[in-house]
Structure 1
Amino acid sequence: MKNAGCGSARRLWALGGLTGATLLSALWLLQLLRRAPGGAPVPQPKLVLVWHWPFADRPPELPSNTCASYGVAHCHLSTNRSLLASADVVVFHHRELQTRQARLPLAERPRGQPWVWASMESPSHTHGLGLLRGIFNWVLSYRRDSDIFVPYGYLEPHDGPAPPLPAKTRVAAWVVSNFQERQPRVRLYRQLAPHLRVDVFGRAHRRPLCAHCLLPTVAQYLFYLSFENSQHRDYITEKFWRNALSAGAVPVVLGPPRANYEALVPPDAFVHVDDFGSARELAAFLAGMNESCYRGYFAWRERFRVRLFSDWRERFCAICTHYPHLPRDQVYHDLEGWFQA
Structure 2
Amino acid sequence: MASGSSNRVLRPLLLGILVLGVFVTLFVMYFKPYTSWLSVPVESVSEHVKNLISTKSDKNPTIVLIWLWPFGSKFDLSVCSSLFEVDNCLLTADRNLYNKSHGVIIHHRDIRGDLSNLPQLPRPFFQKWIWMNFESPTHSAKLPGIEKLFNLTLSYHLDSNILAPYGAMLPAEGEENFVPPSKNKLVCWIVSNWNPGHVRVKYFNELQKHVKVHAYGRAFGKHISDNDFMPTITSCKFYLSFENSVHKDYITEKLFNPLSVGTVPVVLGPTRQDYEKIVQGDAFIHVDDFSSPKDLADYLLLLDKNEEMYLRYFEWRRHFKVKQFLFTAEHACMACDYLRKHKEYKAFNDLDTWFWGS
Q: CA RMSD in A?
A: 2.1
Q: Which residue number in structure 2 is paired with residue 294 of structure 1?
A: 310
Q: Which residue number in structure 2 is paired with residue 103 of structure 1?
A: 117
Partner amino acid for 2:330?
E
Question: Out of 270, 275, 281, which is 1:256 matched to?
Answer: 270
Question: Out of 51, 59, 67, which is 1:51 matched to?
Answer: 67
1:143-182 counterparts in 2 under 5 A? 143-160=157-174, 161-182=176-197
Partner amino acid for 2:66?
V
Aligned to 2:71, what secondary structure does the other structure show? Answer: coil
Partner amino acid for 2:148?
G
TM-score, length basis structure 1: 0.83
Structure number with higher helix proportion: 2
Contact 1:67 1:77 in 2 (8 A): no
Residues 56, 67 of structure 1: alpha-carbon distance in 2 compared, 3 angstrom cutoff: farther
Aligned to 1:130, what secondary structure does the other structure show? Answer: coil
**1:283 offset after TM fit, Å?**
0.7
TM-score, length basis structure 2: 0.79
Residues 231, 326 of structure 1: alpha-carbon distance in 2 compared, 3 angstrom cutoff: farther
**1:128 offset after TM fit, Å?**
2.9
Q: List gaps (5 residues or longer) in structure 1.
A: 1-37
Contact 2:113 2:143 in 1 (8 A): no
Deviations 1:188-217 (A, max 9, x none): 001101101101111121111111211111
Contact 2:206 2:293 in 1 (8 A): yes
Q: Which residue number in structure 1 is paired with residue 216 of structure 2?
A: 201
Q: How many residues align?
A: 300
Question: Out of 213, 218, 243, which is 1:228 matched to?
Answer: 243
Contact 1:174 1:198 in 2 (8 A): yes
C-alpha distance in 2, partners of 1:329/1:204? Answer: 48
1:1-341 counterparts in 2 under 5 A? 43=58, 44-56=60-72, 59-63=74-78, 66-98=80-112, 103-160=117-174, 161-242=176-257, 244-289=258-303, 290-326=306-342, 328-341=344-357
Deviations 1:106-161 (A, max 9, x none): 33422342100001000101113332022100000011100000100011112243
Partner amino acid for 1:339?
F
**1:320 offset after TM fit, Å?**
2.2
Q: Percent identity?
A: 39
Partner amino acid for 1:179?
W
Question: Which aligned runs of 4 or more in structure 1 are off by greater than 6 angstroms?
Answer: 99-102
C-alpha distance in 1, partners of 2:95/2:309? Answer: 55
**1:220 offset after TM fit, Å?**
1.3
C-alpha distance in 1, partners of 2:89/2:126? Answer: 19
**1:179 offset after TM fit, Å?**
1.1
Q: Which residue number in structure 1 is paired with residue 47 of structure 2?
A: none
**1:313 offset after TM fit, Å?**
1.0
Partner amino acid for 1:196?
V
C-alpha distance in 1, partners of 2:336/2:82? Answer: 11
C-alpha distance in 1, partners of 2:254/2:173? Answer: 26
Residues 182, 327 of structure 1: alpha-carbon distance in 2 compared, 3 angstrom cutoff: farther
**RCO higher in structure (CA 8 A, sep ≥6):** 1
Residues 250, 98 of structure 1: alpha-carbon distance in 2 compared, 3 angstrom cutoff: farther
Deviations 1:214-246 (A, max 9, x none): 11111111100000000111111011101x112
Max Rg structure: 2
Residues 148, 174 of structure 1: alpha-carbon distance in 2 compared, 3 angstrom cutoff: same
Residues 106, 333 of structure 1: alpha-carbon distance in 2 compared, 3 angstrom cutoff: farther
**1:71 offset after TM fit, Å?**
1.1
Aligned to 1:209, what secondary structure does the other structure show? Answer: coil
Aligned to 2:91, what secondary structure does the other structure show? Answer: strand
Aligned to 2:247, what secondary structure does the other structure show? Answer: coil
C-alpha distance in 1, partners of 2:114/2:93? Answer: 18
